[in-house]
Structure 1
């Protein structure tokens, strides 16, 4: 059964007049130049997980100032359209979505950059499982894509958490940890790393300024548990 998922409130947009490239001729999103072009580039993602879906990524518009600000992702299974995911981009995003094995369940999740600011990029996470094959919006995280390296914006930890770091000013970085509860990403805890000008190890404390996660720990317990937590890039299922 086909379905459509919309990540944000959409508006009526006029599509561009340039003829679209055939699906089979689209470049792989991972092969695109990591220096983003003036306008986003249509591309495709191919998952090597158990489902083996292909994702056709197309950008359209224009928005009121002429940019292509609508991303449509068509999920193909066995040569047939299974689902369409539509995102209205809040800023002029030129980066394509990526596949990442965030839940460590042998299935790729769909990570869609939807907004970029000085604190980091907002990523919408979509999850599908063997028992629930439709991609659903699991939630949004903010992370720094340091140097635009694959997988850096949203990361993982050895203990199975999804992690991402945002920043506030030159010194403070916010490192948040999530886990999947069913189809949803739920915040576990967040810490604040304050980087020193001399380059020494950053000071670390629990974030007592924003939402509390579901770790059940005190601020001291959060700092003790998560300040030493390692992260590594999240990549697709090989």
Structure 2
């Protein structure tokens, strides 16, 4: 006998049999849909929008992911692995200052590549246990990275671990505001911030070019149109 679907959902479980193949497919579709929407629109996307994008009912979504935190945890697990790995790579660099500047640029580039991840790095999700565990691991590695970079004499003594969240908040704002109109604007921000963290004579990567005036204008126009999707400029 075929199981009956809940209203708005799809049949996806058999008592005592674990997840059926169609349930696994539903989960994969939900994750793929959430990744697409979070990457382009940020974490403000509703759970209902994720269900529509995945082609499943809200009841099915709720069975797979009871809360937004659970969905965020699953969607960004690999990206948080990459975030933690970035610290390990920086600590492995024989030049601690180069490791520090490389880490800052890498993390900000991860934000720029995924609007949802830009939000994740500036928010906390207490119920997303795996995600928060990886964040804590990255944080402790970053503390060591700061100490090593200061030991080279290149990182200012008044730099603290709290300056990184400030940078990430600022970078998320630039990424979200500039969109596809000025997609590389974040690199200019990061370069300026690294210069503010450095002692005189510290070696630094070249300063990227500023965005073209027309690109910044399109970004500012974009900000006057709430709800305008990234990539829609000029259409």
Normalising by the smaller structure, the TM-score range is under 0.3
Query: Which is richer in strand?
Result: 1
Rg larger in 1 or in 2?
Answer: 2
Query: Which is richer in helix?
Result: 2
TM-score (norm 2): 0.25
Larger RCO (alpha carbons 8 Å, 6+ apart): 2
TM-score (norm 1): 0.25
